[in-house]
């Protein structure tokens, strides 16, 4: 498949596709981190995760419209406000869903999967009724447009870089929160031994709700970032959900580092192959390899070493 | 079936339930519906095959496969490939640049039939493939997953991923599979025109007959020791394993059984509807099949048939008149079934209507029903919570 390319051309192709893969990687990381928290820490499958992401995207869309109409002078900075709004709205909605639905189903993980799928259908149709079936996009502020020219064949778009930086910042923040804060310690205590954690005075119900809300909030930020590199439609979330689940499972469900590594591997593989094969075959091959590896090594790349 | 015990069986409560279903499908619906609606009902019934498989697999054994559309689709595509080859005789396709191959291949500049299409010239091979291909894939998936003790939500996600892969593959390989449109324009089966009203009627009855065949196989599995081991595995997998049973083997068996049912359903679907497309394979279609089973009652094989009929009838009814309402209804159905009545219609029937029946037919009926095995074995509340509890335990064990 490399026939007819010179070495330097190949190098630029890999660099360009590698960078294209990096924006896919950023979306994967942002979505998968939220999912990894909910799935890895609580064992809950949230099939509506993609719809939470789209909620964040629509929030960004509305905020950008608001800024355009009322505060055009501040338009350059709207994205930061939008991101905070997306986080807060999604987290609040997530906390509500946890209270109304998920907490009644903790003992039945398979049923949670079906119930959240129902939620995702409802949300999708709600988006369709409110925002219309067509995809919407936001207008990028001036400073985010354009690209940095690295060599004459390789150029890096600024919005992609920006999204990537956000993804890495969120990942770092999440790591600090989970492994370096008192609250993270509580979450991990509840995951490892719920009755014991309750016995030492941790309110496990409140921890669950906060964890779920945090996961949904991160999905909101993911959606917000997503608007920077693509347009949003009512069912865009569903397009990513299976990939994201595979990213989380492939990385090893309870490992944040594993999630990031697997997001990197999957997005790079897919994006590099896309140049040489058709897009659909690249995706098929990537998913097949991931599924194949998971069949041989079900615990994922980075598994916690715990005696069964 | 002329032994006294068989006649006795029809007098039991379970026998009466089966006879009522037969009466509905064989007599009432064909007499009251016009050929078009009857053919639609036949289409819904093909989903009932999948739902029965899911009852065995998910309800009984606790394996939630979100990829039943894979097997439904494979069965359907096997049948569609045979029919398409029959429709693409060199005479019928004389205007193509390569006569004798299916039209979509010609549009995609293929000049000869791919190797995996060749065997589908033969009808016996096709029949074999309709069951064989889904079962083989289920065997591979089941063997790799269950022998490594992968279960619970992991298994669901993996089956969903396989469904996604297959859909993308079918859509991407347009020249070999017909792409997103699927395999269309199917006309005859062994020279028999399947598009006439009489043919649709006949196909409906074949479908009903096959459905009852599957129902009896499922019932047989459920009432033997095999079925009880499946239920036990769902509740206390570790205890079953420590009792010396090969848990993985039982899981593989029930997964393959469900795949075989789904394959038959898919083949009947192709015959009744006249085409097959990737939209019946994918994630959305596969997870919708779960709701047929969940609404009917995840533990009841008869409930699954009613669930498939009801959901699909509601779907076409609602989406004909209020297309934007259907996703809301479907979503509410998913949430409602899970939150409010996890044992579906069969569970509601057992807790509300059956006691009434008992009071009405006290005496003679009570004596008969006491010797019949319960048609729907519903665990008591205590057992139920126990089952969920342990499945959670297993799950967390697998997770680590």
CA torsion B207-B209-B214-B219 (nearest 10°) is: 140
Judged by DSSP in three states, B94 sits in coil
Q: Can you give the residue range of the structural domain that contains B105? A: 42-399
ipTM, two decimals, is 0.85
The interface residues of chain B toward chain A in range 366-385, judged by CB-CB distance below 8 A, are: 385
CB contact under 8 A, B335 and A111: no
Q: Do residues A36 and A259 touch, judged by C-beta distance below 8 A? A: yes
The pLDDT, as a whole number, for residue B384 is: 39
Give the pLDDT mean for A163-171.
88
* B256 within domain boundaries: yes
Interatomic CA distance for residues A278 and B242, integer angstroms: 49
Find the closest chain A residue to B158 by CA distance.
Answer: A291
Specify if B13 maps to a domain. Answer: no
> Tens-of-pLDDT digits for all 400 residues of chain B?
455 666 777 777 778 888 888 888 888 888 888 888 888 899 999 999 999 999 999 988 889 999 899 999 999 999 999 998 888 888 777 787 878 788 888 888 888 888 888 888 889 999 999 999 999 999 999 998 888 887 778 888 889 889 999 998 998 888 888 888 888 888 888 778 888 888 888 899 999 999 999 999 999 998 889 889 998 988 888 899 999 899 999 999 999 999 999 999 999 999 999 889 998 888 888 988 998 998 888 888 899 999 999 999 888 888 888 888 888 988 998 898 888 888 888 888 888 888 888 888 765 554 544 444 444 444 443 333 333 444 434 444 433 3
What's residue A304's pLDDT? Answer: 56
Cβ distance B161 to A119 less than 8 Å, yes or no, reads no
Q: Is B7 contained in some domain? A: no
CB atoms within 10 A of CB B115: 7
Contacts across the A-B interface (CB distance below 8 Å): 144
Nearest chain B Cα to A48, which residue? B331
In this prediction, residue B4 carries a pLDDT of: 61
Establish how many alpha carbons lie within 13 A of residue B211's alpha carbon, considering only the half-sphere containing its beta carbon. 34
Give the Cα separation of B4 and B371 in Å (integer): 15
- CA dist A55 and A223 (Å) reads 7
Long-range own/partner contacts, residues B340-343 (CB < 8 A, 24 or more apart)? B342/A108, B342/A111, B342/B298, B343/B297, B343/B298, B343/B299, B343/B300, B343/B378
Chain B residues close to A128, C-beta within 8 Å: 324, 327
Which residues in chain A touch residue B64, judged by CB atoms under 8 angstroms apart? Answer: 110, 113
Q: Report the pLDDT value the prediction gives residue A98, as an integer from 0 to 100.
A: 92
User: What phi and psi values does residue B275 have, to the nearest 5 degrees?
Assistant: -160, 170
Q: Which residue among B150, B165, B332 places its CB closest to the CB of A287? A: B165
Q: Is residue B118 part of a domain?
A: yes
Q: Is residue B197 part of a domain?
A: yes
* Beta carbons within 8 Å of B230's beta carbon, 6+ residues apart: B56, B60, B61, B221, B250, B254
Give first-to-last CA distance, chain A, whole Å: 44
Provide the strand spans (E) within chain A.
147-149, 155-157
Judge: B150–A308 Cβ closer than 8 Å, yes or no: no
Q: What is the tally of structural domains in chain B?
A: 1
The pLDDT of residue B266 is: 94
Chain A, nearest residue to B172 by Cα: A280
Bridge partners (DSSP) listed for residue A149: A155
Q: How far is B23 from chain A (nearest CA, A)?
A: 33
User: Scanning the structure block, which residue is given the tokens 């789209």?
Assistant: A54
In this complex, do B334 and A101 lie within 8 Å of one another by their Cβ atoms? no
Does residue B69 sit within a domain? yes
Nearest CA in chain A to B141: A295
Percent helix / strand / coil, chain A, rounded to 5: 75, 5, 20
List pLDDT tens digits, range A214-262. Answer: 999 999 998 988 888 778 888 888 878 888 888 888 887 677 888 888 8
Task: Kindly tell me the burial class for residue A23, based on how many C-beta atoms sit within 10 Å of its own C-beta (0-12, 13-18, 19 or more).
Answer: buried
Residue B17, domain member (yes or no): no
pLDDT at A54: 92
Domain assignments of chain A as residue spans, ordered by start: 13-239
Chain A residue with Cα closest to B159: A291
User: A111 to chain B: which residues are within 8 Å by CB?
Assistant: 338, 342
Residue B366 belongs to a domain: yes
């Amino acid at each position: 498949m490399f026939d007819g390319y010179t070495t330097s051309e190949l190098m630029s192709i890999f660099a360009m596709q590698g960078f294209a893969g990096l924006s896919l990687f950023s979306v994967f990381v942002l979505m998968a981190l939220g999912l990894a928290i909910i799935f890895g820490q609580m064992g809950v499958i949230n099939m509506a995760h993609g719809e939470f992401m789209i909620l964040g995207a629509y929030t960004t869309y509305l905020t950008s419209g608001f800024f355009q109409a009322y505060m055009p002078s501040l338009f350059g900075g709207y994205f930061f406000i939008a991101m905070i709004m997306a986080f807060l709205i999604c987290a609040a909605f997530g906390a509500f869903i946890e209270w109304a639905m998920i907490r009644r189903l903790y003992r039945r993980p398979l049923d949670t999967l079906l119930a959240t799928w129902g939620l995702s259908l409802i949300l999708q149709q709600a988006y369709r009724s409110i925002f219309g079936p067509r995809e919407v996009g936001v207008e990028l502020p001036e400073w985010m447009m354009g690209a940095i020219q690295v060599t004459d064949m390789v150029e890096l778009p600024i919005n992609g870089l920006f999204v990537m930086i956000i993804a890495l910042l969120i990942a770092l923040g999440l790591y600090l929160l989970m492994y370096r804060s008192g609250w993270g310690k509580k979450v991990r205590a509840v995951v490892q031994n719920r009755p014991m954690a309750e016995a030492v005075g941790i309110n496990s119900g409140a921890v669950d709700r906060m964890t779920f809300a945090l996961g949904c909030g991160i999905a909101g930020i993911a959606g917000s970032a997503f608007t920077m590199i693509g347009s949003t439609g009512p069912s865009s979330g569903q397009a990513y959900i299976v990939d994201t689940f595979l990213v989380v499972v492939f990385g090893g469900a309870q490992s944040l580092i594993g999630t990031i590594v697997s997001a990197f591997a999957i997005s790079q593989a897919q994006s590099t192959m896309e140049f040489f094969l058709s897009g659909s075959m690249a995706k098929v091959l990537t998913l097949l390899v991931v599924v194949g590896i998971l069949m041989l090594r079900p615990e994922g790349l980075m598994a916690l070493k715990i005696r069964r | 079936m002329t032994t006294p015990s068989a006649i006795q069986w029809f007098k039991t409560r379970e026998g009466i339930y089966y006879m009522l279903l037969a009466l509905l499908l064989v007599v009432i619906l064909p007499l009251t519906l016009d050929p078009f609606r009857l053919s639609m009902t036949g289409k819904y019934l093909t989903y009932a095959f999948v739902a029965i498989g899911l009852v065995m697999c998910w309800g009984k054994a606790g394996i939630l496969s979100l990829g039943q559309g894979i097997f439904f689709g494979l069965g359907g595509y096997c049948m569609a490939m045979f029919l398409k080859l029959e429709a693409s005789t060199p005479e019928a396709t004389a205007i193509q640049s390569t006569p004798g191959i299916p039209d979509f291949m010609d549009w995609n500049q293929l000049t000869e039939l791919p190797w995996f299409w060749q065997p589908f010239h033969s009808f016996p091979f096709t029949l074999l493939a309709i069951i064989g291909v889904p079962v083989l894939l289920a065997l591979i998936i089941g063997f790799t997953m269950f022998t490594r003790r992968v279960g619970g939500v992991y298994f669901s996600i993996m089956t969903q991923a396989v469904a996604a892969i297959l859909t993308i593959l079918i859509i991407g390989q347009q020249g070999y599979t017909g792409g997103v449109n699927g395999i269309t324009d199917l006309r005859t089966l062994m020279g028999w025109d399947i598009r006439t009203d009489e043919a649709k009627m006949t196909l409906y009855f074949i479908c009903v007959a096959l459905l009852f065949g599957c129902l009896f196989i499922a019932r047989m599995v459920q009432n033997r020791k095999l079925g009880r081991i499946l239920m036990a595995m769902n509740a206390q997998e570790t205890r079953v394993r420590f009792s010396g049973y090969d848990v993985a083997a039982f899981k593989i068996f029930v997964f393959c059984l469900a795949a075989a049912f789904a394959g038959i359903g898919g083949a009947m679907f192709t015959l009744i509807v006249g085409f097959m497309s990737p939209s019946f394979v994918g994630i959305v279609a596969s997870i919708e099949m779960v709701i047929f089973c969940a609404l009917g009652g995840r533990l009841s094989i008869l409930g699954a048939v009613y669930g498939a009929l009801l959901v699909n009838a509601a779907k076409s009814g609602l989406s004909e008149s209020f297309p934007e309402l259907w996703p809301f209804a479907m979503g509410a159905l998913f949430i409602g079934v899970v939150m409010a009545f996890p044992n579906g219609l069969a569970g509601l029937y057992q807790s509300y209507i059956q006691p009434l029946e008992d009071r009405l037919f006290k005496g003679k009926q009570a004596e008969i029903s006491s010797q019949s095995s319960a048609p729907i074995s519903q665990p008591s509340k205590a057992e139920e919570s126990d089952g969920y509890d342990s499945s959670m335990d297993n799950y967390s064990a697998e997770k680590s």
